[in-house]
Chains A and B, each alone.
Chain A
Amino acid sequence: MARAPVAARKAPARLTRILIATRKGLWTLASDIARNGWKLGGPQFLGHVLHHAIADPREPKLMLAAARTGHLGPTIFRSQDAGRTWKEAQKPPAFAHGSDRVVDHTFWLTPAHRDEPGVFYAGTSPQGLFRSADGGATWEGIEGFNAHPQRKTWCGGEQDGTPDGPKMHSILVDPRDPRHLYIGMSSGGVFESADGGADWHPLNRGVRADFLPDPAPEYGHDPHCVRFAGGNPDRLYQQNHCGIYRLDRPGETWQDIGAAMPKSVGSIGLPLVVHPNDPDSLWVFPMDGTTVWPRTSPGGRPAVYRSRDGGKSWKRQDQGLPRSQAWWTVKRQAMTSDARDPAGIYFGTTSGEVWGSRDEGRTFRCLARHLPEIYALECA
């Protein structure tokens, strides 16, 4: 069903704060108004594996962090004072007893609709969907997904997931309708719910799955990152294991927009970032997906690619980035934008560097280095 577009709103100038979730803890970067001077803070949770950390746009002092350690099981930490102090959730995400499934880690956190204060969603590894109605203190499984009779068929088994475990990610909440949800699963594909998660249907038509016997199945795909277009939740962009795609609702067939990428670079990557209010602008960070999938920047020359026309064409943006022998890449949650004008683009690398641009990717500079492997960046 078509819905009214969301009016674009330009955010006022303010300090930019970035939450940096890493394999060994949480750090923060805080800028001045000009986004010129940056100060690194942290670590917090030193030694904990932080897959995601977010601030609540409805209540900015509320923050959540998904954590585990090498030895201990997964949990969620909450802060109600903008990250100064943290307290563990009373009931972290866990599958129903008797379901034979165990949450290895919470991978993704999403604040729910603006009219549902205190409500959050969490996606886990293996694929599970959870909801908190009390600001992240207690979590309940959404059985419409977790106990769905088709779930196992959609997701496959452990061998169908990523090397770091199968994941649910990219939980999207329609800003016009809190019950209209999308999820992405590696593997499984993109799914949609119109009833708050009570039921789901696959939404993968047009997306390749060339690692399966049927290259155009109904489900079983590997979306790496799915985002609403800035200011237009009737458009979705997807960086997939097999290319880059756009979907304009109410259509149900994704358009291959990765075909316009340079052949020498390809259209494989993990993250995808959208402009805060231009639905035609998006950025990707390609990686080497040839042969054994090195998952490095292609040729050791990292670059961001930007499209300003919804994916019809792409422009390389690498000013300020290393010109050679830089073999890192960027994980699916480790690239983000701020809501300033011009938009800031930030990414964290597998080698522990944070790079930022305050001019929509025209120039980049290194904002932090020598951190642990970076899993996620979010602007607070």
Chain B
Amino acid sequence: MKFSLSWLKEHLGGDADLKTVTDTLTRVGLEVEHVEDKAGDLSAFIVGHILEASRHPNADKLQVCMVDVGKGAPLQVVCGAPNARPGLKVVFAAPGTVIPATGQKLGASEIRGVASGGMLCSSRELGLGDEHDGIMELPENAPVGRPFAPMVGLDDPVIEIAVTPNRPDCLGVHGVARDLAAAEIGELRDPAIKPVVGAFPCPKAVRFDFGDAEPLSPFFALRLVRGVRNGQAPEWLRRRLKAIGQKPINALVDVTNYMTFDRNRPLHVFDAAKVKGDLMVRRGRAGESFLALDGKTYAVDETMCVIADDNGVQSLAGVIGGAATGCDESTTDVLIESALWDPLNIARTGRTLNVNSDARYRFERGVDPAFTVPGLELATQLVLEICGGEPSEIVSAGAVPERNLIIDFPVSEVRRLTGLDLAPAEIKATLGLLGFWVTGHGDRLKVAVPSWRPDVEGKADLVEEVVRIIGLDRVAATPLPATASVSGARLSLIQRRARNARRTLAARGLVEAVTWSFVSKAQAEAFGGGKAELALANPISADLSDMRPSLLPALIAAAQRNADRGVGDVALFEVGQTFLGDRPEDQRMSAAGVRRGTAKARGAGRHWGEATLPVDAFDAKGDALAALAALGVSPASVQVAQGAAPSWFHPGRSAALQLGPKVILGAFGELHPRALQALGASGPLVGFELTLDAAPQPKAKPTRAKPPFEGSALQPVSRDFAFLADRDVPAAELIRAAQAADRKLVTRVDLFDRYEGPGVPEGKVSLALAVTLQPREKTLTDAEIEAIAERIVAQVAKATGATLRG
């Protein structure tokens, strides 16, 4: 919402300056977004008077002027403008002035051998227009040596404010002035609007035709003014419209625009000669269309409200007028319409047809219903004043709806919600200045809400009205009392899991990424998703169309992007939400990581001290198990289910991580070549993904104390075993069997060697285990150790078929 300072002052008495006005606007909630103060910007440009002008000795098109600038001797200025002539009042810029059009600082110069002590400016150079055929010509009475801007009406700063959707009343300058008056920087000029006496009955009738349905217009008023002379609007009106970026068209149209911005009262004018028959306000009909004032043809339908005559649709009610009945210089009889419309219907129509007019903007936010007829009277007065003519009586259809809202308002409500103690008199005065009617005494007030404030519904709104006007800075910061209890976790289990997983994965050298929650449909489908219910109806682009079923596709794609930038050894992870379906319980917290190239946990890239190896499934397994440990899931309890990982993993080099058959914690492994191909990625690339919600809830513990430490004084004993096993036997089964041989004495089993090749039969693998025995009560004898060793061999043989290597 834009207006000029002088425009505002027409509604706001007093002598508040620009700064007071703009500071107050922001303070009361009408945030100033921009102030354009041409006079201030151009204050260095002063009025000069050309005393003499003679031909430049060395250039045909240049003149050498002697210019009086109000102080000192006349200055010699070289000028190329054909209209520079003795006697002319001009805009003079002294050396050192910054020229707006170029941003350059003007230097003292010599032009073709003649010294020039400044510059005479064209309007283009001043950023005021496109005129560049000559220098600006100022009125004869312009005072020499004074800033020129006020002489050409530029001393009127233009203020732009942001008006929040709850304040339609401030979409008119008058409403803005009311807020400022309430803030006591001036008084509201609000003279009563006298009705214009109609000289004859309006020859056009208005009818609502909504059948039995609710009318889409509560009220519609119309008046004819005949015998008008339409032409250019007067300078003051044109200047105001231009100041806010509106293009003056002709007096009648300009009056309606002026009412829109001055009073938040959009109007429409029809050229009566072009209207056939009476006006009908009704729903559009399928197949109807009309040519609007913006030059476009719109198809209307039965959801829209139109104004029609015998020829058909002439206006899209409250949104945009029609070209066929528009007013131009030839108009002599004008029909002025002032109406109310259904805000939701206006909004829908505007959205459907994509018309963003000032009228639509105001009608969908709410105009003052009580001002419908006064607005028509005011517009009539302007038309009569500017264009002459003879007004008819007003005809109307429907009735102005009345709200009559009265709020019971205990003044203590201000203190209750803000902590601020205000005298009832101050509260009453503030509300009164805003146009509320306040009655009652002591603590209990009755407050009647004015018709232009649809946003005010109850006590809290009144508190806001009071504090925003008297100043939020008067509310003192008050320490929030401490809560009764400080014990207990502030984070939920899943929140703690997410942060533990993050720190753990980062500590393994992975770098945390945050990627979009949406992926492409192809990516979603390739990673177990792609459900219709998770496809956005209005995605921002095709590659961000579906809610992600997995964190992996985005991480893999990101790893590849890094590789394409030259960082091929990259380890990324993300902890974030994934979506199985659209219900809240379908949203899960996942943790996933990928490693590419040589980005292994112990370091990336080549190193002088060790062989360079590509990442493999065990890097991903290590990451996954570390993250699970951080969630409280002991790696020893996790089952590694070979072949059970989802399809986007390499079938032979991956596994699911499970607790029993039902609890699937996640999976790890090498990515499937086809999955990589689908993402345009190349390996080596391994990854894992865990569902943090899947890990079991920790058991409630009665105490935080740990079980007593049992440190045996007896030396542990270690024995090595080399087994020959079928290659398909999982090594973990040997380890488990060895552990099971004596759960008390066997405290640790390490698999320290794996070998297949010469010396080992085809299809077999040699697996070497180091078993640690911890004697509990007494040192083990050789015979006892031998007995346990035999049990281990037997147990492993029984469980896996492996034999001790001979």
Instruction: Say if A and B assemble together.
Output: no
**Which B residues contact A (CB, under 8 angstroms)?**
none
